[in-house]
Structure formats: structure tokens, C-alpha cells
Amino acid sequence: MANLSPEQELEQFGYHQQLHRGLSFWQLTAFGLNYMTPIAPAIVFGFILQASGGSVILPFLLGGIGMSFTAITYALLVRKFPIAGSLYSYVSHAWHPRIGFIAGWILLLDYILIPTIMSMSSVLYLQDFLPHVPYSVLLFLFIAITGLLNLFDVKVMARLGLWLLLIGELVIFAGFAVWAYAVKVKGMGVGHLLSTEPFHFHSLPALATATSLAVLAYLGFDAITTMAEEAKNPKRDIPKAILVALLIGTATMLITGYLGMLVIPNWQQFVNDPSWLSTTLFYVSKLTGGEGFGIFYALGYVFSMAVFNIVATAAGARLLFGMGRDRVLPKAIFSAINERWGTPHWNIALILLLEFGIGMLSTVDAIAELVNYGALLGFILLNLSLIWLVYVKGTAITTHHPIRKFFLCFVSPFIGVLVMFWVFLSMQHITLIIGSIWLIIGICYTVFGHKTL
């Protein structure tokens, strides 16, 4: 298959080219980073701080390390299976279609709930400027305007992706500069840039719980794999884009976690205020740069979330497309492609409707943990699938050098399983209960509800 075109490789799996192919390495990288969003820590910063008892940088660091092993697994599997559907497709082909469906089913929690969180969080920021506009109206407009852009050709979004990413990076690095200046020159917060304050935490269980929240900010790198059938050279470019996006995203989050905590060593005074928890970095930006910079940061945040909602809806729609094409979900709806734009329009509409409904009925912190239930359990299945593919099925997936093969195809995914499982068990009991109910529904569907699985 080495000399086949991407379209011919796709046919080897029994599919034909339906989506428009044309994304480059940098466009894929921008897609992943826009999904992770440079300013993503603004969503969960306060909740991570509260859960850990004082540290944000350590949960982000542990989350980044844990994700790196899973990223290696993604990079290996996309070379073997360069098809849309992401985790669902990889687990189905590497292990078994039933287990693949379960992986895709639980990952749906991510691709539906993550854009919901971003939309809700953006509206909370917007309400500081538009207090008289009802929450429901702002939420509907935000979801509709950003989400419906996905109906257009993916190439349109790709052309804008790099520029939109640069704008987001400008906002976050402006924040870094203002926070650092306020601490070093104005003497705010701890009063100096070198401090152990950002590394304080209450206990190891608290740190694990905080890490389970920090995982939310890392989920963009896997979204790159949903674009496998729209990439020019998926086997070459997607693995590189995954690793580059993860490295850049991790660095940004670590700096945010460190500098942000230098400004607010007195965080205990505010941590019980739900509004403060939801907009902690807006508070930090306003405190360090004044009202004007606070507005700049908040508007930059809302803009970044709008970009995120575009790419998140695109990724979720492709996951549903892969499942519909394999007939594990109703094919007539989920595999339908708009003839003019080449996009899965019914999937996009469904995701937007679910976003609005859930956004009206829940809170950001409640959804954030539930998202991570799907991500962590899905990543566990993904890593186990690589081990199964190589050491049970005996499939050659990388170099035949025994030491390199053992590290990449067994040690790395096994560590990924252990890290994800440790964080998974640290989630709140109510999250585990609700997530498990969703999992049981999916299992029942595979056993009783679908004969093709």
C-alpha cells in the first residue's frame, strides 16, 4: 500500500472518497491547535485550582505527559488506518467492531459536550458586557453563528485556520506579558517571577482530580485524526501535526498555569464564588492590566471559543460520519454528504441542537468532568488496541527493530493506559455514575440493538 494514493488506500478499507481532500500539514496543525485553543485554560483554570488546592501548572504538566503516550498511539494507528472516524475507526480495525463502537460511543461525549462547554463559557464572559441580554439568546446566537459555518467546504475553514490561530496566540501571549510585568515591575501577587507558589497542592488525590479536569484542554490533538480523509497526505502529515500541536499546546498551558498563579496567591478568598471560578483568568487580566485589558482578554477569549466551536463541530460531524458509513448508526442520516459543500450537514445540525439543549440544562463544571469520562476511557481502549493489534494479531505497524517496536507498541501504550486509568479513577463519583450509564446504553446497543456489530 506504500505507493498507493490516499484515495486508493481508502478503497483498501472498502470506502470511497466522499469528503473533499486538500488539507496540508500546517492546516492540520492549526486545526488541532484551534481545537485545543491557546486560551483553553481560561475555561477550567479556576476549577483546576479549586480541585488541586493551589496548583494549575502541575495538573497541566501531568496531563501533557499522560497525553504524550496516547499521542504516540494515535500517530502509529493513523499511519495504519488513514480513514475518518478517529478513535472509533482505529479501535474497530485494530481490535473489534463492537469494541470500536463502544470507543466511538463514549467519545461522542467529548465531541458533543466539549463545544457545549466552550459555548457556555463564552456566553458567561459575554454577559459581563451584555448583562441585559438573556443567557438563552446569547447561547443560541453563539452556537448558530459559529456552528453553521461548518456547512461550507472544509477548505474555506482551512484557509482561515492559520490566521485565526495567530489571533488567538496574540491574545494569550499579550496576557503572559501583562501578567509577568504586573508581578515583576508592579510587585503584584507574589512580587517576583521565580516562585514555588504555583506548585503548591493539597494532596496527591486532589492533584489527580485536578489532572482529570486539565485533560479537557488537551483533547484537540486527537481531533486532527478526524480529518484523515480530507488531508493531502494523511499518513505523513497527521502524525506530525498531532505531535506538534500537543507540544505547542502543552507549553502554552504550562506558562498559563505558572504566571496565572503568581498573580493570585490569595486565591482562597475567591475560590468559593462560582462566577470567579468560571472567569478566573478574566479576573487576573483585569487585575493586572486594568479594565481595558480585561475587556481585550475577554473578547479574545470569546473569539477563540468561536473558532473552537467551528473546528469542534467539524470534528464531531466526521466522527458521526465514520460511524454512519459503517452502518453502526443510521446510514441515511449520519453518512449523508451535502452535494454542494461536501460536508456531513445532518451531523452538524444534530450537534448544534444538542449543544443548545444541554447548555440550557447544565453547568460548565458538571459537563467538564463528564467530557473527561469519555476521553479517558476512550484513550484507554485506544492504547489497548495498539497492543492487541501488534502482539495478539501480529500485525506489523512500525519498524521491525525489536527494542523500538517494544517501546512504541507496548511500553508507551501501556504507560498511557496506566496514566489514563489513574486519572479516570480520580473523577468524582457522580461523574463516574453518569458516564457509566452512558457506557451501559452503548453496550446494550451493541449486544441487542445492532446486528451488524
For the packed helices 57-80 and 412-425, what is the interaxial angle rounded to 10 degrees?
130
Task: Give the range with max mean pLDDT: 161-165, 207-211, 318-322, 393-397.
Answer: 207-211
Q: Is residue 385 a contact partner of residue 77, using CB atoms and an 8 Å limit? A: yes
Q: Evaluate whether residue 17 is within a structural domain.
A: no
Q: Evaluate whether residue 211 is within a structural domain.
A: yes
CB proximity list for 137: less than 8 A, separation 6 or greater: none
Q: Evaluate whether residue 4 is within a structural domain.
A: no
pLDDT in tens, 378-397: 889 999 999 999 999 988 77
The alpha carbon dihedral of 69, 71, 75, 76 has a sign of positive
The candidate with the shortest Cα–Cα distance to 317, out of 168, 435, 82, 148, is: 148
**Residue 253 or residue 19, greater confidence:** 253
The CATH number of whichever domain residue 378 belongs to comes to 1.20.1740.10
SS3 content of the chain, % helix, strand, coil (to 5): 75, 0, 25
Stretch 117-127: mean pLDDT = 80
Q: Whole-model pTM?
A: 0.79
Residue 48: other Cβ atoms inside 10 A? 30
pLDDT of residue 137: 92
Among 52-66, 212-226, 228-242, 413-427, the least confident range? 212-226
pLDDT of residue 254: 93
DSSP, residue by residue, 34-96:
HHH-TTTHHHHHHHHHHHHTS-SHHHHHHHHHHHHHHHHHHHHHHHH---TTTHHHHHHHHT-
Phi, psi of 23 (to 5 degrees): -85, 135
Q: Evaluate whether residue 229 is within a structural domain.
A: yes
* Nearest-angstrom CA–CA distance, 119 and 123: 6
Among 21-30, 89-98, 128-137, 340-349, the least confident range? 340-349
Cα angle for residues 92, 70, 380 (degrees, 5° grid): 55
The confidence band for 1, taking pLDDT boundaries of 50, 70 and 90, is: very low
pLDDT of residue 40: 67
* Nearest-angstrom CA–CA distance, 386 and 256: 33
Phi, psi of 169 (to 5 degrees): -65, -35
Q: In this model, does residue 303 exceed pLDDT 70?
A: yes
pLDDT of residue 154: 57
Q: In this model, does residue 161 exceed pLDDT 70?
A: no
Q: Evaluate whether residue 8 is within a structural domain.
A: no
The candidate with the shortest Cα–Cα distance to 194, out of 258, 135, 248, is: 258
pLDDT of residue 386: 94
Q: In this model, does residue 153 exceed pLDDT 60?
A: no
Number of domains in the chain: 1
Q: In this model, does residue 164 exceed pLDDT 90?
A: no
**Residue 32 or residue 266, greater confidence:** 266
Among 46-60, 122-136, 265-279, 328-342, the least confident range? 328-342
The confidence band for 440, taking pLDDT boundaries of 50, 70 and 90, is: very high
Whole-number percent of the chain with pLDDT over 90: 19
Q: In this model, does residue 355 exceed pLDDT 60?
A: yes
Q: Evaluate whether residue 167 is within a structural domain.
A: yes
Q: In this model, does residue 119 exceed pLDDT 80?
A: yes
Among 41-55, 378-392, 396-410, 430-444, the least confident range? 396-410
Q: Is residue 145 a contact partner of residue 122, using CB atoms and an 8 Å limit? A: no
Q: Evaluate whether residue 310 is within a structural domain.
A: yes
Q: Is residue 139 a contact partner of residue 117, using CB atoms and an 8 Å limit? A: no
* Nearest-angstrom CA–CA distance, 88 and 120: 27
Grid cell locating 279: 472567569
Among 92-96, 230-234, 258-262, the least confident range? 230-234
pLDDT of residue 72: 92
Q: In this model, does residue 157 exceed pLDDT 70?
A: no
Domain of residue 197: give its range. Answer: 23-449
* Nearest-angstrom CA–CA distance, 382 and 77: 9
Q: 174-199 as b/e, with b when 16 or more CB fall inside 10 Å?
A: bbeebbbebbeeeebbbeeeebebbe
Q: Evaluate whether residue 33 is within a structural domain.
A: yes
The mean of the pLDDT values for the chain is 83
Q: Is residue 220 a contact partner of residue 74, using CB atoms and an 8 Å limit? A: no
